Every structure is written in C-alpha cells, then in structure tokens.
C-alpha cells in the first residue's frame, strides 16, 4: 500500500517537474527572441547610412545646398568659372594641394584632380561639411577680397567659425591653420545631368 502511494507521489512530482520545465523553456524562448532581435539594425539606422539621392536641377551657379548623409552635413556647390579659377589661384596657399593626406575617408579616384570633382561635372563640388580640426561646420564665404576674419587677398571658400580654419573652393585647408587636413569628399555619382547620389558610386555603396 505504501509503495503504491509513493509511486503516485513520484508520478505527480514528475508531471509537475515536466510542466515547470516546459514553462521555463517557453519563458526562455520568449526572453531570447527579443534580445536577439535587438541586434538587427532598425530601419532608422539603415536609413542613416544609406545613399542619399539629390535633385540639383534648381541649384544655380554660385549657389550651395546642404543635405544629410550618415548624420553629417554634406555640401553641394555649383561653382562658377570664377570659383574654379580661384581654386587654381589657391594652389600655393593651401597645405595639401594634391590631397595626399586622408582625413576620415579616402579621396575617390575620380576626384583626384585639381578641382576635386568629377571631370564631367567639374563645377559641382561635393564635400562633407565637417572641419578636420574639431568637427565644427564651416560657413561659406564665397565673396573674394578683404572681410572680417579673412585675409585681404581672400580668394573665396569656407571659414570655420570655431577656430578660424579656412578652406578654398575645393575644400583644401589653407596653410598655418588649426585644421590638419582637407575636407572629406564622399563617394558620389550622377544618375542624370541633374540627379546625383551621395554615398554610392560605380564601386557600390560606401
């Protein structure tokens, strides 16, 4: 009689243990799935690093527009012939005229020229608007000549308001300034005469 009672108790305990283990297993699965899911990038994170398509049909000569790519401002400047001439004038005044020193990304091969732009759209200048000194955003100072915080022979370009670094119309830093390198040129390509994509070129996405 006692053996039968013990068997019933053992059987009941076994059933309780199985049920508890199963419930614990489901709980573990419920806990693990969201945790693993948290490693997958969100749509917002994907968008932050995705290429950016830009319509420049309304960008007139001498004008600039700014777009966001990877959380950073990127300039697109439609340079005039005078602005391109100013780039040549600045060759002897900039610290790295041939852009030999990289900052945070390599210079695209198609921009390894005097204007740091694509040869078939040499007037269009694309650059990451982040000063290579401490990360401030320079301001456009396209007008030539003497003006506050700039030399009398200023050829036109960009001035960083934080510590006075200056860049020419190709984003090259002038000599004896706090910024050690030229502005970054991101990968970009034209999909038509008035459409370009920043963050992607013939080699793929950056």
Give the number of domains in the chain: 2
Query: Would you place residue 204 in the very low, low, confident or very high pLDDT band (cuts 50, 70, 90)?
Result: confident
| Positive/negative CA dihedral, 173, 70, 109, 57 | negative
- Domain range for 79: 46-205
The CATH code of the domain that includes 131 is 2.102.10.10
Q: Is the pLDDT reported for residue 7 higher than 60? A: no
pTM given for the model: 0.77
Residues 28-58 pLDDT 10s: 333 333 333 334 444 554 456 799 999 999 9
Q: Are residues 121 and 94 in the same domain?
A: yes
| Positive/negative CA dihedral, 44, 193, 111, 203 | positive
Q: Are residues 14 and 30 in the same domain?
A: yes
Closest CA to 107 of 179, 185, 172: 185
Compute the average pLDDT of residues 69-90: 96
Q: Are residues 178 and 106 in the same domain?
A: yes
């Amino acid at each position: 009689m006692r053996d039968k009672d013990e068997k019933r108790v053992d059987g009941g305990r076994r059933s309780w243990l199985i049920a508890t283990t199963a419930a614990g297993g489901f709980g573990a699965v419920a806990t693990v799935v969201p945790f693993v899911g948290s490693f997958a990038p969100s749509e917002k994170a994907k968008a932050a690093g995705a290429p950016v398509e830009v319509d420049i049909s309304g960008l007139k000569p001498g004008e600039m527009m700014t777009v966001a790519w990877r959380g950073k401002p990127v300039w697109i400047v439609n340079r005039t012939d005078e602005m391109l001439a100013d780039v040549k004038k600045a060759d002897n005044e900039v610290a790295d005229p041939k852009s030999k020193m990289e900052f945070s990304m390599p210079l695209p091969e198609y921009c390894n020229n005097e204007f740091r732009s694509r040869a078939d759209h040499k007037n269009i200048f694309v650059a990451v608007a982040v000063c290579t000194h401490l990360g401030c955003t320079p301001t456009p100072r396209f007008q030539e000549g003497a003006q506050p915080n700039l030399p009398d022979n200023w050829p036109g370009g960009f001035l960083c308001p934080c510590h006075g670094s200056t860049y020419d119309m190709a984003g090259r830093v002038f000599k004896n300034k706090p910024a050690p390198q030229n502005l970054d040129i991101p990968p970009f390509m034209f999909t038509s005469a008035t459409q370009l994509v920043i963050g992607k070129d013939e080699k793929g996405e950056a």
